[in-house]
Structure 1
Amino acid sequence: MKRYLTGAAAVATITLLMTACSDPSVDTPDAPADAGSGTASDEWPEPTADLTGVELTIWAAQNSNTVPEAVVAQFEEATGASVEVVTIPDPYEQGIQTKVATGDTPDLAFWQPTASMLTALNAPTNLQSLDGAPWIEDLSPALQDITGILDGTRYAALITSPAVEGVYYNKQVFEANGIADLPADWESFIDTARTLDAAGQTPFFEMAGDRWATQWWVQVQLADAAKDGLWDRVNTGEEKFTDETILGAIETYKALVDEGLFNEDLATATFEDQGDALLNGEAAMVVQVNSFFSQLQAKADTAELDEKIGFFPISPEGNTGTFIPDQSNALVAFKTGDQQREAAARQLLAFWMGAAYPAFVEDRATISLEDSVESPDNVPQALLDIHASLEDSVGSMQALAVANPDLYIYLADMIQGSATPEQVARQTQDQFVQLARAQGVEGF
Structure 2
Amino acid sequence: MKASTFVKAATLAAAASLIFTGCATGGGGGSATNGKAVWNEPTASLEGVTLTFGGGAVSDAGLTQVMDAFSEATGAKFEKVAYPDPYEQSLLTKVAVGDMPDLAAWQPTASQLTTLQPSKNLLSLDDAPWLDDLDPAVKDVTGFVGDTRYAALVTSPSVMGVYYNKGLFAQYGITEDPANWDEFIADAQSIKDQGGVPFYEAGGDMWPTQWWPQVQLAEQAQDGLWERVNTNEEQFTSPAILDAITEYKSLIDDGLFNADIKTATVIDQANAVLTGEAAMAVQVNALLLQMQSVSDTETIDANVGWFPISQDGNIATSIPDNKNGVVAFHTGDAEQEAAAAQFLNFWMTDGYADYIEAANAVSIKPDVQSPAGVPEVAKLISASLGTSVGSMQSLAVANADLYLNMAKMIQGTQTPEQVAEATQRQFAGLAQAQGLDGF
Give the structure-1-normalised TM-score. Answer: 0.96
CA distance in 1, matches of 2:30, 2:335: 10
TM-fit CA distance, 1:225: 0.4
1:142 corresponding residue in structure 2: 137
TM-fit CA distance, 1:29: 5.2
Match of 2:295, as an amino acid?
A
> Secondary structure at 1:58's aligned position in 2?
strand
Match of 2:73, as an amino acid?
A
Residue range with higher mean Cα deviation, 50-59 or 83-92: 83-92
1:281 corresponding residue in structure 2: 276
Aligned pairs for 1:77-156 (under 5 A) are: 77-156=72-151
Structure 1 gaps, min length 5: none
Instruction: Write out per-residue CA displacement over residues 379-429 of structure 1, whole angstroms, 9 at most, x where no aligned residue.
Output: 000000000011110000000000111111111111111111111111111
1:55 partnered with 2:50: yes
Contact 1:32 1:335 in 2 (8 A): no
Aligned pairs for 1:324-343 (under 5 A) are: 324-343=319-338
- Equivalent of 2:26, from 28, 45, 70? 28
TM-fit CA distance, 1:5: 2.3
Aligned pairs for 1:391-430 (under 5 A) are: 391-430=386-425
1:205 partnered with 2:200: yes
Instruction: Write out per-residue CA displacement over residues 252-279 of structure 1, whole angstroms, 9 at most, x where no aligned residue.
Output: 1011011000011111111111111111
1:190 partnered with 2:188: no
Contact 1:202 1:284 in 2 (8 A): yes
Contact 1:89 1:95 in 2 (8 A): yes
Contact 1:36 1:124 in 2 (8 A): no
Contact 2:57 2:322 in 1 (8 A): no
Residue range with higher mean Cα deviation, 30-39 or 166-175: 30-39
TM-fit CA distance, 1:210: 1.1
CA distance in 1, matches of 2:284, 2:319: 8
2:16 corresponding residue in structure 1: 14
TM-fit CA distance, 1:245: 0.3
CA distance in 2, matches of 1:63, 1:32: 30
Match of 2:16, as an amino acid?
I
TM-fit CA distance, 1:7: 2.1
CA 1:66–1:86 in 2, change beyond 3 Å: closer, same or farther? farther
Identity %: 52
TM-fit CA distance, 1:134: 0.3
CA 1:79–1:313 in 2, change beyond 3 Å: closer, same or farther? same
Aligned-residue Cα RMSD (Å) equals 1.4
> Secondary structure at 1:67's aligned position in 2?
helix
1:307 corresponding residue in structure 2: 302
1:5 corresponding residue in structure 2: 7
Contact 1:62 1:87 in 2 (8 A): no
Contact 1:204 1:261 in 2 (8 A): yes
1:255 partnered with 2:257: no
- Equivalent of 1:272, from 262, 267, 271? 267
TM-fit CA distance, 1:28: 3.5
CA distance in 1, matches of 2:139, 2:69: 25
CA 1:4–1:341 in 2, change beyond 3 Å: closer, same or farther? same
Instruction: Write out per-residue CA displacement over residues 4-52 of structure 1, whole angstroms, 9 at most, x where no aligned residue.
Output: 2222222211111123x3x5xx64356444565413xxx4100011111
Contact 1:62 1:88 in 2 (8 A): no
Instruction: Write out per-residue CA displacement over residues 86-128 of structure 1, whole angstroms, 9 at most, x where no aligned residue.
Output: 2323211111101111211011000011111111011110001
> Secondary structure at 2:54's aligned position in 1?
strand
Residue range with higher mean Cα deviation, 79-88 or 100-109: 79-88
Contact 2:304 2:377 in 1 (8 A): yes
1:178 partnered with 2:173: yes
Contact 1:234 1:401 in 2 (8 A): yes
